[in-house]
Amino acid sequence: DSGVTQTPKHLITATGQRVTLRCSPRSGDLSVYWYQQSLDQGLQFLIQYYNGEERAKGNILERFSAQQFPDLHSELNLSSLELGDSALYFCASSPAGDSYEQYFGPGTRLTVT
Amino acid sequence: AQSVAQPEDQVNVAEGNPLTVKCTYSVSGNPYLFWYVQYPNRGLQFLLKYITGDNLVKGSYGFEAEFNKSQTSFHLKKPSALVSDSALYFCAVRDPRNTGGFKTIFGAGTRLFVKA
């Protein structure tokens, strides 16, 4: 158990809908990262937050957004969903500092039908 | 720009034999290097990292990796493979001099299959 929790574990929804994925980082970790993993794209970095502020953006679509709250949990919002958004979405956290590894949550499997 | 390559999509090895999963990187400075493992339907788990010091790094589950600066490689090794080592392995690199934006780059992953 990494100490990172993600809810829900599975999500099935229809095209055009909007969903919210939730992540609670390990106790004390200030950085939260979101990744998308699909069979054909591998592990894609979406966005990073550090202590409530956006730190870096990766290949995140404009239909997607995220935020980190004062209690450090984070939410990833996916809207106008398309079939191609079906994937595993991982959250990871790490302490401050470059030498630290990331701790990954169990993921949310999103299926868009 | 920094990059990382895992040249093999899949590695097959017999149980009890040594295994190597290859990783090469491109970073202009001194990199931080990481290995992660992903079991089916699970998140990535940290295995080991190289930050500085001894080029041979030991990690979880009997894995080790050797940092080779001249060859810009960080290959993952284990002296005796187990069937339970079958999983997807990711190499990651970070340039600590990169002060802006997301710093860690993950490789595409190598699937390790250990046959009994």
Dig out the tokens for B110 from the structure: 């190598």
- Residue A107 is given by DSSP the state -
Mean pLDDT of B35-62: 93
Pairwise CB contact (< 8 Å): A102 & B103: no
Q: Does the pLDDT of residue B35 top 70, yes or no? A: yes
CB atoms within 10 A of CB B65: 27
Of B43, B49, B102, the CB nearest to A2: B43
Per-residue pLDDT reduced to its tens digit, A36-73: 998 776 889 899 999 999 988 888 999 999 999 999 99
What whole-number distance in Å separates Cα of residue A6 and Cα of residue B55?
35
Pairwise CB contact (< 8 Å): A43 & B106: yes
Mean pLDDT of B88-115: 85
What whole-number distance in Å separates Cα of residue A25 and Cα of residue B1?
29
A56 touches chain B (CB under 8 A): yes
Tell me the helix, strand and coil percentages in chain B, rounded to 5: 5, 50, 45
Pairwise CB contact (< 8 Å): A101 & B46: yes
Q: Does the pLDDT of residue A21 top 80, yes or no? A: yes
Per-residue pLDDT reduced to its tens digit, B57-92: 999 999 999 999 999 999 999 999 999 999 999 999
